[in-house]
């Protein structure tokens, strides 16, 4: 089982202007660092901490066979795009959307069989089933203020250490009291 991001968010929850204002940066010399490293790293770290997606993105769950129910990471789940699978002959098929029920009220989200339906038989190979879905709050304005506040604090911490910080270190922020800002939004499985 693997989750992949197919389409990254087209916007970040925190803008370059907001990040620079928070960090009290006036010039443009750090714009590329903020835009390409620090802001995305803060979003990715927040998403990892909470088990949810912030701005709209497309993800894919890859499985070897159909389970009883699918758990979809990246709450809130907006919609199901497709469920594709390799049939018993190894030919890719698309499951009829009427054969499944998307529970996007629960966090994490679930996909279950519709009443009276059964999962089709799959080809006995790894990664025979692919569930593609859209998740996230929507645009930047839809992301809760506490999550944005956490991101700004993370951005400030990373910006203060920008000369010595690598991309890998940027996504592994030290545990601080402000991490509690994310607690109400954590998705537990």
Q: Which pLDDT does position 135 carry in this prediction?
A: 97
- For the chain, the structural domain boundaries read 13-52+140-185, 57-135
> What percentage of the chain has pLDDT greater than the value 70?
92
**Would you state the pLDDT for residue 175?**
58
CA distance 107 to 69: 14
Average pLDDT over residues 141-146: 95
**Residue-wise over 76-87: b if at least 16 C-beta within 10 A, else e?**
bbbebbebebbe
- Reported as a pLDDT band with limits 50, 70 and 90, residue 129 is very high
Backbone angles phi, psi at 107, to 5 degrees: -130, 110
- Over residues 164-183, the mean pLDDT reads 62
* Span 50-76, average pLDDT: 94
Please tell me the distance from the alpha carbon of residue 59 to that of residue 56, in angstroms, as a whole number: 10
How large is the average pLDDT for residues 1-13? 93
Look up residue 23 and give its two tokens.
């960090």
Q: Which runs of consecutive H residues, i.e. helices, occur in 27-114?
A: 31-33, 39-50
């Amino acid at each position: 089982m693997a989750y992949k991001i197919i389409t990254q968010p087209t916007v970040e929850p925190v803008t370059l202007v907001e990040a620079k204002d928070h960090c009290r940066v006036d010039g443009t010399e750090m714009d590329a660092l903020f835009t390409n490293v620090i802001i995305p790293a803060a979003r990715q770290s927040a998403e990892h901490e909470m088990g949810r997606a912030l701005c709209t993105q497309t993800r894919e769950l890859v499985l070897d066979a159909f389970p009883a129910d699918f758990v979809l990471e990246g709450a809130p789940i907006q919609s199901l795009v497709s469920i594709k699978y390799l049939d018993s002959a190894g030919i890719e098929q698309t499951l009829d959307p009427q054969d499944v029920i998307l529970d996007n009220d629960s966090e994490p989200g679930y996909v279950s069989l519709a009443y009276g339906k059964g999962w089709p038989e799959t080809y006995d190979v790894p990664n025979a089933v692919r569930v593609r879905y859209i998740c996230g709050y929507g645009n930047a304005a839809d992301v809760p203020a506490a999550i944005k506040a956490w991101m700004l604090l993370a951005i400030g911490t990373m910006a203060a250490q920008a000369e010595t910080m690598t991309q890998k270190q940027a996504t592994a922020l030290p545990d601080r009291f402000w991490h509690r800002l994310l607690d109400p939004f954590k998705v537990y499985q």
